Structure 1
Amino acid sequence: MSTSPLTPYLTFNGNCRAAMTFYQQCLGGDLQVQTFAGTPAAEHVPAEAQDGVMHAVLSNGSLLLMASDTGTQPVTKGSMVSLSINCHSDEEITRLFNALGAGGHVTMALDDTFWGAKFGMLTDQFGIDWMFNYDKPGAAQ
């Protein structure tokens, strides 16, 4: 059984766009950025954070780096990096979420999202933050 690759997911205090643009200049590749404004997530962030980055992806060959601004909560060193797994099936996301969450704390239960995926977040028993995503077949990417 193969497991999906891990992707680092960085979290910023409002300067995600500047950081990811810098990383693109250093590492090359394609940068895609989506703000909170115009998405269902916009209702959960204050007006001054609407232009903040809800999700950014920098890709260059096998390099994949994802990031976002918090929108509401301040980030401190130690909570700036999560490990993200993009799963290949509903069974895989459920199995990994339950296994890695054992003895830990669920911060966002697995649930369907507006972007057509099943998604959840947790902190494991060792204090490591994890993000799980399963893009459902036929969902708009």
Structure 2
Amino acid sequence: MPRYSAQYLSQLLTRRDYGALVDLQGVALGWEGYDARLPSFGWPQPIFVIFEILTWLAQADRSGVWTYYEATPVVRLDCALATLEMLKAVELQQQYAHGKMHWQDSEVSRKLDYWIRENEQTIIEWAFATLVDHPVELAMVSS
């Protein structure tokens, strides 16, 4: 029996806002296959990178992107980069990689924080488009 109804998930996908992504992340965090010790948390790659980018965006908004890079294990950063490349999210992958390489440079971090703020809605739209393109993976983490 699914933990969440198809109707509930459909409503979240229809909303297409930041709050709906947070709710979907909560769904995925409750999945029995979730394992915080794994670079991708055990989630399917598209699901992992959507919620990792959501975390990246949130930390940039709250305290600056440098705090994300400082606190995130390199193996997880590399997993996110590989998945962004696999999904052909070119600009997002380039920005994320640039931040990974130069996060200790305050000017680079400031510019990346600005880029994230300016592109927040585009990032959210990318996340929802990716979720819609991967219904099997979403269904897996919500069951």
What TM-score does the superposition give when structure 1 sets the normalisation length? Answer: 0.29
Higher strand share goes to which structure?
1
Q: Which structure has the higher relative contact order (CA within 8 Å, separation 6+)?
A: 2
